[in-house]
Amino acid sequence: MTRLNGKTAVITGGATGIGLAAAKRFVEEGAFVFIFGRRQEALDAAVAELGPNARAVQGSIAIEADLDRLYAAVKAERGTLDIVFANAGTGSMVKLGEITAAHIDETFDVNVKGTIFSVQKALPLMGKGGSIILTGSSAGTTGAPAMTTYSSSKAAVRNLARTWVEDLKGTDIRVNVLSPGAIATELATEALGEEGLKVYGAMTGFQRMGDPAELGSAAAFLASDDSSFMTGSELAVDGGLAQI
């Protein structure tokens, strides 16, 4: 398929997991992709896998100067930008009674402030028909123990899309949320272990963990003109986790 032929995309958190799966799908469908992440070695490995239609910029979405370097690189090589997949995020489990200000600041600096600036700094390069995709989470809808800070940050991301629909009226730029649930990423494996993944996957309607490639396919749909009349929406790709 070539639904993204000639389009330029930025994917934050693009070196591994869902971001890398989306980058692979975007390139397969004809896009030129800039991936952005904190670990240079992971970025180098990802670009080697993605091929000549991919570039990597190292940095953190929590640091505005790093985002400025990212979009300067996009402007220098491509001139304009069609797709922003604001996928980078962070989170850790801390139960009520043990939450600290530092924990809140770390999570919200990345998941909320970083997402806002990832999009805001991209807008001068975007034109009509552009697509913004925000990574939400099933945790933004459901309750889970020790997830106060992460869950609330992802609920905030969901509302960013609703608010930006109003702010973007007249631009023909659409903004939607892609919300994963039980996805077998490297980070999930590290956090839960193999046995934990089995337990988590059994909670879904399919009784398995999702594959990052399944999120990549959904991201490609939201990036393409196939979703041309969608904005402010949340696409849950969670095996039914937050729906049942």
Query: Which member of 24, 154, 169, 198 is catalytic?
Result: 154
Rg (CA), the chain: 17
Question: Quick count: other Cβ atoms within 10 Å of Cβ 29?
Answer: 17
CA distance 1 to 117: 31
Mark residue 207 as left, alpha or beta (left: phi above 0; alpha: psi -120 to 50; beta: remaining): left
DSSP states along 44-63: HHHHHHH-TTEEEEE--TT-
CA distance 53 to 115: 24
- In the residue annotation, 154 being an active-site residue is answered as yes
* 24 phi, psi to nearest 5 deg: -60, -45
Query: Which member of 113, 150, 169, 200 is catalytic?
Result: 150
Closest by CA to 24, choosing from 48, 41, 6, is 48
- In the residue annotation, 150 being an active-site residue is answered as yes
By the 8 A CB rule, do 241 and 138 touch? Answer: yes
How would you classify the pairing of strands 32-37 and 126-135? unpaired
How does 85-124 read in b/e, with b if 16+ C-beta sit within 10 Å? bbbbbbbeebeeeeeeeebeebbbbbbbbbbbbbbebbbe
Q: Give the residue numbers annotated as catalytic, written as ranges.
A: 150, 154
